[in-house]
Structure 1
């Protein structure tokens, strides 16, 4: 899915740039190519399996794992904010850590604290909505192609975090609490993403909202696929285990990120909109 931004959203910023004599900053996030969506879905699965490994195999527990990975995420976010343009390795490492942290925190709320999945889903949905509202009121755009200031990036990453957290909570709610099973849940979310794509390309649904809706739905899709592959056959899965599933998907993610770093096919060029004559 692509994104278009109206002239009214970019001309004021272009005017400020021209007046100050500075070149426009490069976008800090990738173009939403097919590689973007593949890595996004796989990062969700990697996050879920890594969270299970930290919780069970490493013995850190949900709370301990949340604290450790949150600290690591904070360090990587500092690096991401300090970069001057999109760097595939740093960007996708940040996304992967957000996937792990959001899974651990979501599971900690439901399994340790005892927050019902429906309540957790509602809370994450409300917080995400607040982020979007404040972001739009401040920047007048939610476009992926204009994450080119520190202010916009400071809204972008919380939005990414809460889409992951909401996706995890909603996925658990649908697949476990509603007893649909992993495979049927994955098919349901895949169909929902397809419906959004059709609405965008055939019915001219707004590009920005199409993107964020699909982005949200890839969370429970990836989690459902990962659970289907990893969980024991008696629980409705294929029984590959979290180690094998996580390693397989992580290998694909790393290979794709290396390819993107070398080819830069997902890098958008700075836009130079015309400035109206004074």
Structure 2
């Protein structure tokens, strides 16, 4: 039997380079979770772990973390936060195992996507955490509604985060292709007429896009949760993301509806 050749740490990092463009500006991922993930991947491969097994383990870890965050003791909250950080690490591992071992397959991608349930339920769980631990709130009785207000804010934040992702998906499925064709034709017309194209963004716009993108990703949510837990400001954390996702959903609807109208007008010419 041929001896299994395990990838070196350098080869694991090299295999991940295809995602460098996507993760280049995700600062916590790039400088904290990915470096730890590479080493954890090196260990996991030698322990015989497959990418699919890593995905299942990550889901179990996330579920355990959620259960702890809904617990009554502060020790359980600490354990829950730690488990969510571990879940994010495992979410790095499964893809790196597949890339470095060259075992990427549709089932693995499917499993990895399925674990997105943890993002869908996260804010609701934080709302339950705030409801059960008013001592972690700056405003435990905001608007004279008691801690139950934060239960509602958590649930609404989950809904808004899911809805914003839904709006993006609907645009990708129904409008992305005609919009891209229209944008290409518009740019070609601008080139012919000598007009300046609109593809280059200012430094401030690009910086804003990077900040917004970093605020959306899981690792930022978890690190900010750690900070909010330590300084006992879970309510501020929830309020910030409630308004963030509300404004994000409104912004996406405005932009995509405007693009849809432009596509409609171009088809009616």
Q: TM-score, normalised by structure 2?
A: 0.32
- Greater gyration radius: 2
| Structure holding more helix per residue | 2
Higher relative contact order (CA 8 A, sep 6+): 1
